[in-house]
Amino acid sequence: MQAMVTLTSEESKRLIAKAVSRMEAVKKAREEGFIGFSLCTSAGYVIQELLGVDKIDPSGYCCGFIYSGGSCSVKKAHREKLLLLEKGKPRWLNFPEEDLTVAISAMDKDDIIIKSGNVMDPNGNVGVLLASPDGGEAGAYLPHIMAKGIRLIVPMTLNKTVPVPLTRILSCMGISKFRKDRVTGMACGMLPLDGLVVTETDAFRYLFGVTAVPVAMGGIGSGNGTVSLVLTGDDHHVESAWQAVNEIKGEPRLKNYLSNCNDCENARGEPGSAVCSTRLKG
């Protein structure tokens, strides 16, 4: 049996979050150890799956985002606190004063950090944009992950896939490589994320035992950012996947929490902050 489904970016994030939250490694870390949720909307959806949809707004569970004006940051007034779970007990951290390094010394190979990226190459290699010269949140704990063998789970929607290798992209990036008046939004560098990548195809296989093949990307209007997939498998497995897709259809669009340039540290160009071109146009 086959079925064809189309998912918006938010619907994809919801599907992937359901798969991540049900992984055995995640269940074990929630019961016995630590799960750190980096500030990204994909992690926000996983938090909702684990703790309930009323706990946070995924739109505010991030530091930066991309919109039509380029790269921007979420104002602190709209940003959710950073979550660390220790044996299922939530600890909400005030970022940037606090980050996941508060528990990094106690974390080991059975603990998990969840962090999404901004781009994925044809081989499944993922990169994340860095707007802060010190590497920001990711730069604070990724070396610890690599050194200690902490598990990194990387939820990624297929609409972030590009047809060039990540190594080529990395060679182009770097805040100092861009003229201040030749950037839409904030100039960025990039860091590779070496972890377990989970896409829509992985989610369909894990949750329902069906093969999912992406057959179309994008569309117009409400179809912007969508991915269409063909599902193949036993009749009852495909039917289960079909019913689940219909349950998540209509997932609300993420809000666009634009920063106010008049009180944004990036727009003021304070020492140590990201460089934003928007202030040059005022």
pTM for the predicted model, two decimal places: 0.93
The closest alpha carbon to 72, from 181, 179, 185, belongs to 185
Q: What is the pLDDT of residues 167-202, one digit of tens each?
A: 999 999 999 998 888 888 889 999 999 999 999 999
Query: How many alpha carbons lie under 13 Å from residue 112 in its C-beta half-sphere?
Result: 25
Q: Phi/psi zone of residue 107: left (φ > 0), alpha (ψ -120 to 50 degrees), beta?
A: beta
Instruction: Name the pairing type of β-strands 34-37 and 82-86.
Output: antiparallel
pLDDT band at 137 (very low <50, low <70, confident <90, very high): confident
Above pLDDT 90, what percent of the chain? 73
Of 26-30, 84-88, 91-95, 132-136, which range is least confident? 132-136
Across the chain, mean pLDDT equals: 91
Of 40-54, 144-158, 251-265, which range is least confident? 251-265
Task: List residues bridging with 152 in a β-sheet.
Answer: 113
| Residues, the chain | 282
- Beta carbons within 8 Å of 239's beta carbon, 6+ residues apart: 1
Q: Are 14 and 248 in contact (CB under 8 A)?
A: yes
pLDDT band at 272 (very low <50, low <70, confident <90, very high): very low
| Selected residue with higher pLDDT from 90 and 280 | 90
Of 108-122, 154-168, 180-194, 197-211, which range is least confident? 180-194
Task: List residues bridging with 153 in a β-sheet.
Answer: 114, 196
